[in-house]
Amino acid sequence: MNLDFTTHIFLNNKGGIGKTLSASMFIQYFIAAGFLIEGVDSDQQAPKLSRIKALNVPLIPLFENGEIQQSSFDPVFTHILQSKNATLIDVGSSAFLPILKYMQDNRLYDLLNQVNKQLFYHIIVTSGAEKYETMQGAEQILDRIKGTKVKAIVWQNEKDGIPTFGGQQLQETDWYIENQDHISGIVKILDYNNTAFRADFLALMTEELTYQEIMDGKSKHFDFMRQNRINRIFRDVFADLDAIFNARI
């Protein structure tokens, strides 16, 4: 697979589950692998990705007078279809169903196939109070891509523990097994069961810094031990992405 000819859409039906965090880590993975990736932040309500200045991701508003304007997607996808680089969109939870409808109404799956671009939906599943809602969003996405060449990558955010369903981990569930043809793999944001890791992760996002900026000492708040914890978090995520893409040089 030529990773320059891939498009990645991060979405789910629930906010506050680590979608932007996952998108930012994915962009940084591509950068570490030596690839160009063009990102777009379309989450007007929580434009966190565009605030990480080093990632150079513009905010593209999709709302007008409080309503989603589907025509606002047109220039974004026109660029995606014409770009020679990998592309990414961070979609807010309020645009979850509208963008899925837009993709189908405009036959984007076929158009992407025609220009030899592989589309990946990145779906976040978590535990805690949001577990079943995020799983419902994952099910809706997989239902819509049956019969297409679209692939899904499931991000398992373990901030509230490892999500289990009827005593089974995600990859053991009937739903996962039945959809394996469309699922490229699972990326785990691990729960290290340690308050220091959680505090460092929160500080990383609050300061709107990249992994590389932390490791380069751009923040006075991250000493050697805190840098080491951030390094471990990203190393584990990158290893899962390596298993899917084998991209790093």
Write out the DSSP string of 70-119.
GGGHHHHHHHHHH-SSEEEEE--GGGHHHHHHHHHHTTHHHHHHHTT-EE
- The 10s digit of each residue's pLDDT in 81-127 is 999 999 999 998 888 888 898 899 999 999 999 999 999 999 999 88
- The 10s digit of each residue's pLDDT in 156-175 is 988 888 888 888 999 999 99
pLDDT of residue 66: 56
pLDDT of residue 65: 64
Cα–Cα distance between 141 and 61 in angstroms, integer?
A: 23
Please tell me the pTM assigned to this model: 0.93
pLDDT at residue 248 is higher than 60: no
Average the pLDDT over 52-68 and give the result.
81
- The 10s digit of each residue's pLDDT in 6-43 is 999 999 888 787 899 999 999 999 999 889 999 999 88
Q: pLDDT over 90 for what percent of the chain?
A: 53
Mean pLDDT for all residues in the chain:
89
| Side chain identity at residue 173, one-letter code | T
193: left (phi over 0), alpha (psi -120 to 50) or beta: left
